[in-house]
Amino acid sequence: MPLPELQAIRQAKADQLRAMGIDPYPSRARRSHTSDEALKRYAALEPTLGQAGEDPEAITVVGRIVGFRDQGKTVFAHLRDGHGQLQLFVRREALGEDAHAAFRKLYDLGDFAQATGHLFRTRAGEVTLRVVEVRMLAKALNAPPEKWHGLTDVETRYRRRYADLLASADVRRVFEIRARTVSALRRFLDGRGYLEVETPVLQPLYGGAAARPFTTHHNALDQTFYLRIADELYLKRLVAGGYERVYEISKDFRNEGIDRNHSPEFTMLEFYEAYADYTTMMESVETMVAQVATEVLGAPRIPFRGEGVDVSPPWPRRTLRDAIREASGVDYVEHPDQAGLLAAARAAGADVPADTVWARIVDELLKQFVRPNLIAPTFLTDYPVALSPLAKRKADDPTHVERFQPFLGGGEIGNAFTELNDPLDQLARFRDQQRDREAGDEDAMPIDADFVNALMYGMPPTGGVGLGIDRLVMLFTDQDSIRDVVLFPALRNLPPEADPVVALVSGIDLPDDPAPPGGDGA
RNA sequence: GGGCCGCUAGCUCAAUUGGCAGAGCAGCUGACUCUUAAUCAGCUGGUUGAAGGUUCGAGUCCUUCGCGGCUCACCA
């Protein structure tokens, strides 16, 4: 048998259609109404219709067959399109005996079909199409997942997202919200005069974040390239070049662990504004998130764990130092050396390895004591300079930089600062990074001489923000895992011999000399 | 990478202390003129993730491997 049983049965039905002169994969479809347009049409028409309650005019709809209830002379089916679904009422006397028999025997759940007929309301009250003509648009060989439970195995859902999507309206909704969120962010920035730009994904030198890159190779140039870990340094070059407001929505890549909050490729929004500083950018962020939430979700409120969290501006602002001090009792400013801070952190109950560097201990205090409680939107501001090699120092406190991170739902959704535009300070910070790098810190940034050169031409005072789009979408859709807001999350390859899809497809025997499309078997 | 848990029919799930691998959905055959998780009768469908081992006998116990989830470490 060329196909497993279930697929072979459907393939045989396709062949029967061909034998009847019907192409099971026609090139064109016709539709006069989407499902929601049909429902609206009937709602508007119903009061004017007589006793019969039937639309005298025929309409044509298309979609996938998602329900099929055969009662002999009558078949009820549901056709789902991108806008909803519509019930079909398929009667023998309306369709003719042969067409009716063909519909009953040769159409299956999952097939795409086109139906023409008249709208009416059934006794059970559902607006339904009384079908006078039906046509196959695409025969499905695989049966759809179980109609009530859908796909529950998360691995299968991620590997075969198409099956997940066709089985689950909830999953489809998540990615619709994602798309609308990205488009609302664009609208917000476009409306404020930002220019959307595209900077290199393949970079000869990576930078702009503390992370390990993916490395690749260009054959013709015989040169190593890195997949970008951030857009920051390129976008600031553009500000130095004279654009006052730029943004990019980019896939960034970090060669690090994968977990609920981390994907090796993820989507980041970065935007930079000349003559702004980090306080301006805080206003932009809180306004943007609230406005986008209103546009996408209907209110400035995210559905956090079923509870909901208000994201209306203004968001409270607290310095990192105060937040840590209040939550843990540790004032890191009083412990400028590693040993002292380590002892204080441990005394406060933090779990910190003995060899943790000073800046990382501060980060641990933030993570362990502060972050989990930041459910309502909050800006933490003013970070120690050691944590932020691209941010500008505070004028009144050179040990801290003008940086903030927006927190929401117990996690950070971004990172922002008044950008460092002093070329020599930037060079010094790069050199510090270089020293960390030589000391074995693989995440430390390499020196980007060309970026320093750009700053030497002069970059205006600038505020910049990076926002994690995946995390924002997780909050907007109340999903706990980044994999549930990424359509095709990165997964380890199955060995071919263990992959059921490879087994299915490699087991298919095709005719030696396949007939031209639509011609075989006819 | 470490620890814990999981993998049974196309899909969703069962299977007592180790004792004949089952059900629902889907599918096939048939019945049925307003159903909507339609219903009714009958039927098909399995290398229990893979390979070894223990045993009279393994879905179940042991070992190794594969993939996934959670978690810790690293990070946004």
Positions of strand B less than 7 angstroms from a protein CB:
1, 6, 10-13, 24-29, 31-39, 44-45, 49-50, 66-76
Nucleotide nearest to A466 (CA to C1'): B76
Indicate if CB(A412) is under 7 A from strand B: yes
* Predicted confidence (pLDDT) per residue in A447-492, tens digit: 999 999 999 999 999 999 999 999 999 999 999 999 999 999 998 8
Indicate if CB(A67) is under 7 A from strand B: yes
List the beta strands (DSSP E) in A192-320: 195-196, 202-203, 215-218, 223-227, 245-253, 265-274, 301-302, 309-310, 317-319
Distance (Å, whole) CA A367 – CA A370: 6
Reported ipTM: 0.89
Indicate if CB(A395) is under 7 A from strand B: no
Using CB atoms within 10 A of its CB, is residue A470 exposed (0-12), middle (13-18) or buried (19+)? buried
* Predicted confidence (pLDDT) per residue in A385-424, tens digit: 888 889 999 999 999 999 999 999 988 999 999 999 999 9
Q: Tell me the pLDDT band of A437, cut-offs 50, 70 and 90.
A: confident
Tokens standing for residue A507:
């087991």
Ranges A17-31, A125-139, A251-265: which has the least confidence:
A251-265
Distance (Å, whole) CA A126 – CA A63: 18
Indicate if CB(A125) is under 7 A from strand B: yes
| Strand B contact residues in chain A (286-305), C-beta within 7 Å | none
Using CB atoms within 10 A of its CB, is residue A447 exposed (0-12), middle (13-18) or buried (19+)? middle
B40 C1' closest Cα residue: A71
Indicate if CB(A440) is under 7 A from strand B: no
Domains and CATH numbers, chain A: 5-148 (2.40.50.140), 167-316+404-416+453-484 (3.30.930.10)
